[in-house]
Amino acid sequence: MLVIRPIAAQDFSSLKAVAIESGIGFTSLPDNDTLLENKIHRATHSFTKVVAHPEDEGYLFVLEDTDTSTVVGTCGIESSVGVDDAFYNYHVGKVVHSSRELNIHNTVEILTFCNDYTGMSEICTLFLREQARLPNVGKFLSKSRFLFIAEHKERFTDKIFAEMRGVSDENGRSPFWDWLEKHFFSLDFPTADYLTGIGNKVFIAELMPKYPIYVNLLSEAAQAVIGAVHEKTKPALALLEKEGFKNRGYVDIFDAGPAVEADIDQIKTIRESTRKPAIAGAVPEDNLHIIINTEVADFRAVCQPIRITDDHIIMSQQAMETLHIKNGDIVRVSPV
């Protein structure tokens, strides 16, 4: 059975394998042993911390195949970005140049350097290993975070966002960064991406152009990828859009991938969730739901068939054991 649980110290080698497989552009999980160890330590502390409101917690989950004890995916939530390290985006806006006398009216897009997402919760670090890319598994991994948020709202902000991986080639070159590199940085995309991933962001503030950038001055290749996502990220973006996430015009400063956001209470998985006591019993084969317990440090999520009655949520005994619950314990569920 597949189960989502908090990451633990013994998952280091699995997390490193995921970091290597995810490749360049997956900024939240760089291949750096010290950083990965720090991520695990921070996550284990966050899951055991008593929280009244979001501060600087980082929740990192792993997807484990209990039959083989193999970690096959990760996903995460940042409670409040930019609290300790600055968090940057570009906002895509417009300016108008017009002359009534000459009857000329030109509207052009600009990119404005900003910190607008500072303090907001972020879903991040979603990666599913190749061997686990089966029907509904990606949905399970992504949507489980929303149920965790719904159950523990005090740990997160009322609005949440996600940064989507932008366009880059098989060698990690980004058309958008190529233009910035040429004019401002003299630093290739893999290096910039890696430095950001390990928390070294000072160079961004030091070298990034401070004034708005006119989009029509960028190369055609750079213009073409603003707000576009990496081919492997399209399914994740489509899933978030179905959940109600919207693009408000923010893009990543390195690869120009889009950021999308949503009010927590408007997220489909949360709106459609049900919270009731669980009991073991017979269930149909086709009524798949994501099921979570109500714990934090001992959080567990599974994707299993259930039956919902007026008073209970009925599931298999195996599902209950995997969730670390007993008859009468409260669970939260939502359809896949």
- Residues serving a catalytic function are 230
Structure tokens at 256: 């120009």
The runs of H, that is alpha helices, within 152-259 are: 175-180, 189-197, 202-207, 220-224, 234-243
Give the HSE-up count for residue 73: Cα atoms under 13 Å, Cβ half-sphere: 26
CA distance 200 to 193: 10
Contact 165, 275 (CB under 8 A): no
Strand-pair category, 121-128 with 159-163? parallel
Per DSSP (E only), the strands in the chain are 2-6, 58-65, 70-78, 89-99, 104-114, 121-128, 159-163, 213-214, 246-251, 258-263, 274-280, 288-292, 301-305, 307-308, 313-315, 330-335
Nearest to 147 by CA among 261, 259, 293, 298: 293
